[in-house]
Amino acid sequence: MATTNGLDELASRAARLEGVSTASLVAADPDRAAGFAVRAGPVYANFARQRYDRKALDALFALAESLDAPGRLRALFGGEPVNQTEGRAALHTALRGDLTGTESGREAHAQALAVRERMRALGDALAASQVTDIVSVGIGGSDLGPRLVVDALAPVEGGRFRVHFLSNVDGAAAQRVLAGLDPARTAVLLISKTFGTQETLLNGAILRAWLGDDRRLYAITANPDRATAAFAIPHERVLPMWDWVGGRYSLWSAVGFPIALAIGMDQFEALLNGAAGMDAHVLLTPLRENLAVWHAMTAVWNRNALKLSTQAVLPYDERLKLLPNYLQQLVMESLGKSVRLDGSPVGVDTVPVWWGGAGTDSQHSFFQALHQGTSIEPVDFIGVARSDHDHPGNHLALLANLFAQSEAFANGQDSDDPHRSYAGQRPSTLILLDELTPKSLGALIALYEHSVYLQGLVWGINPFDQFGVELGKQVANRLLPALEGAVEAKDPVTAALLAEWRQRVSPTR
């Protein structure tokens, strides 16, 4: 049996807290309501409504200490090959700063700065042209980050460019994105770390043909030769990235070019600076005041001590409605592993299912289950203190709902009528940003990145590979000839499904 790193002990601590209400935990500890909180720059998080007490927290911080969390953070920032299964560093932090002064960190940061200069120049050239619209073609890590940030921060009107995103291989997606766009006023970015991703290659071919003029076709990739070979994009229109940037950690690199085009290069750099501020906090702050450590160890508590199998993220801000989608890739692709670094079974539960949606909309869809369902789903609530719209009454109502839901989940409410009774004891963290700016969003995303790294450390897994996504791609590649009619599918169920499908399409399609 693989070592469980002291997680069994946490489960027995949790058992001792069973039946103790969250309200009595708060009442028993006068400092808890305000004291179970950490602020890092523009991000404040309050953990008082989690289902642990100080002794449990002591055990969690002791666990982080025993795993040398500070040393492992230094290894990450310093460019050690923390992505052990692929023998690589994971230097996304070097895209936004140079905190450790190691040679690899310094070199990576210098490369990142040089590419940023090129992004600025290309952006300025595009701004001086007749281009009004940008289509960003990419998927997964080459899509979700830029899509989130552009949706959150792009001006509602008056930005330099309108930026559109195309990811799905479904041709309907391309058709929808292109409807209403004028090829003569559009530039296309093909974003793919590998330049071997089926969706991006197929959509890229559609866009290239639609554009009709290769001069407005750009590539962002760690494999420029492939971009040149497949799309004849000359190197001056290729922005590089590197194998030391994981796809889901890449929005800070040239993969963020759509962000820079949507909000301007200065604002893109403010996003990076926000992340750099969180980096400095996480790297340099002792464990007990370290926001990423609190967040990660809370996740470990909920998963391994309370055995909760999902994690909801509920931003109470319309502009952050894509955050759950973004975090699904960041967290689940990073931590969805069952073996430790040495290949042995992990022996404990790893990533829960991450999901969520924006409040208040989601209150009117799935909150019933959160309040009265039989399983308990821990929540990260995210709110923004100051709004930047002209409807202050709506903002107060939004925040009243945010604070109310967190209170109602924790405290519940008794009733003689079981149908109208709320058990409460639903754990949540409330994260509050001062305002939603490039800086605060950068800090928030970096917080989640570091929390993921620390959770991976506890579970002894590699958060930087994603071999699990390969099998489905391989099977799809094998099956494409069967759909084209060239071969028969070998698997009997797939063969039956294809036969069923063939009956429904005309022979020519």
Taking CB under 6 A as the rule, which mask of x and - marks residues 138-157 in contact with ligand G6P? Answer: -xxxx---------------
Residues 287-346 within binding reach of ligand G6P (CB under 6 A): 333
| Residue 380 found at the interface with ligand G6P (CB under 6 A) | no
- Is-catalytic flag, 473? yes
Nearer to ligand G6P, 248 or 439 (CB): 248
- Decide: helix, strand or coil at residue 8: helix
Number of neighbouring beta carbons within 10 Å of residue 105: 20
What values do phi and psi take at 486, rounded to 5?
A: -80, -35
Query: SS3 sequence, 349-367?
Result: CCCCEEEECCCCHHHHCCH
Q: Is 357 in the site for ligand G6P (CB under 6 A)?
A: no
Q: Measured from the CB of residue 65, what is the shortest distance to ligand G6P in angstroms?
A: 31
Burial class, 173, CB count within 10 angstroms (exposed 0-12 / middle 13-18 / buried 19+): middle
Q: Are 185 and 130 in contact (CB under 8 A)?
A: yes
Query: Is 92 assigned a catalytic role?
Result: no
The residue count for binding ligand G6P (CB under 6 A) is 14
Closest CA to 427 of 366, 378, 373: 378
Q: Which of 236, 364, 484, 500 is catalytic?
A: 364
Provide the minimum distance between the beta carbon of 222 and ligand G6P in the complex, in angstroms, as a whole number. 8
475 binds ligand G6P (CB under 6 A): no
> Counting Cβ atoms within 10 Å, is residue 316 exposed (0-12), middle (13-18) or buried (19+)?
buried
Binding mask 240-279 for ligand G6P (x = CB under 6 A): -------xx-------------------------------
Whether 55 sits among the annotated catalytic residues: the reply is: no
Structure tokens at 141: 């890590």
Residues in 25-84 that interact with ligand G6P by CB under 6 A: none
By CB under 6 A, the residues from 147 to 206 that bind ligand G6P are 192-194, 197, 200
Catalytic residue among 333, 337, 439, 450: 333
Nearer to ligand G6P by C-beta: 374 or 474?
474
Q: How many CB atoms lie within 10 A of CB 468?
A: 12
Nearest CA to 255 out of 319, 174, 194 is that of 194
Stretch that binds ligand G6P, among 137-145, 224-232, 303-311, 420-428 (CB under 6 A): 137-145
Cα 320-118-443 angle, rounded to 5 deg: 30
Catalytic positions, written as ranges: 333, 364, 473
Residues that bind ligand G6P (CB under 6 A): 139-142, 192-194, 197, 200, 247-248, 333, 466, 469
